[in-house]
Amino acid sequence: MPLLNLAYVTASATDAAGNTSTVSTLDFDNTAPTLTVSVDALSNDTTPVISGDTDMGEGTVINLTVVDSDNVSQVFTAVVQADQTWSVSVPQAIAQGTYTVSASVRDGVGNLTTEQTTGVVDSVAPSLLIDNLQPTANATPTITGSSNEIGGEVSVVVNGQTLQATVASDGTWQVTIPTALGDGDYPVEVSITDAAGNQ
């Protein structure tokens, strides 16, 4: 039958006269430690933070391996804090794309727990272009452009007005100025931020 965590087994011997003596006491522990590991699902940080918790005590070492999209591995450790949490940044920058984290911890009698998770690094800013602006007699002109951030929101600032345009499936965007402009020159500022926070 399976041994229970911290089951105590005592062996004893009794002679013909009825004298009993304890031979030995064994302490069994076959329950693996608990362990969690997490990362941001999507981040623009090329040295992302890995964190988690465990039921092991302060000072316990968590062994970590990170493999990035270029199949480059990094092996390092984290140390459990007093509240049984742990956290560490990947030491060296990892490649763009999906990476895998494997974390493991072993207790004092050798029981091992291993957990794994994945994240994505995207630190590349999206492209953003604005089409050439030509002189026009239209007081509410349409401003157009393109971006590779399909579905992203483009912010357009003209004469104190902040307008929003969505990048269409073909990579184009456009916005029409709703409030008529007077004669003159007007700077146009455009920006876009992707899901990872790159701008």
DSSP state of 57: P
CATH architecture of the domain with residue range 128-192 = Sandwich (2.60)
Query: What is the SS3 assignment for 164?
Result: strand
Residues 6+ apart with CB under 8 A from 134: none
CATH architecture of the domain with residue range 42-121 = Sandwich (2.60)
| pLDDT tens-digit series, residues 94-132 | 999 999 999 999 998 889 999 999 999 999 999 999 999
Sorted by where each begins, the domain ranges of the chain are 42-121, 128-192
- Let me know if the fold of 42-121 is the same as that of 128-192: yes
| pLDDT tens-digit series, residues 48-102 | 999 999 999 999 999 999 999 999 999 999 999 999 999 999 999 999 999 999 9
Q: How many CB atoms are located within 10 Å of the residue 171 CB?
A: 14
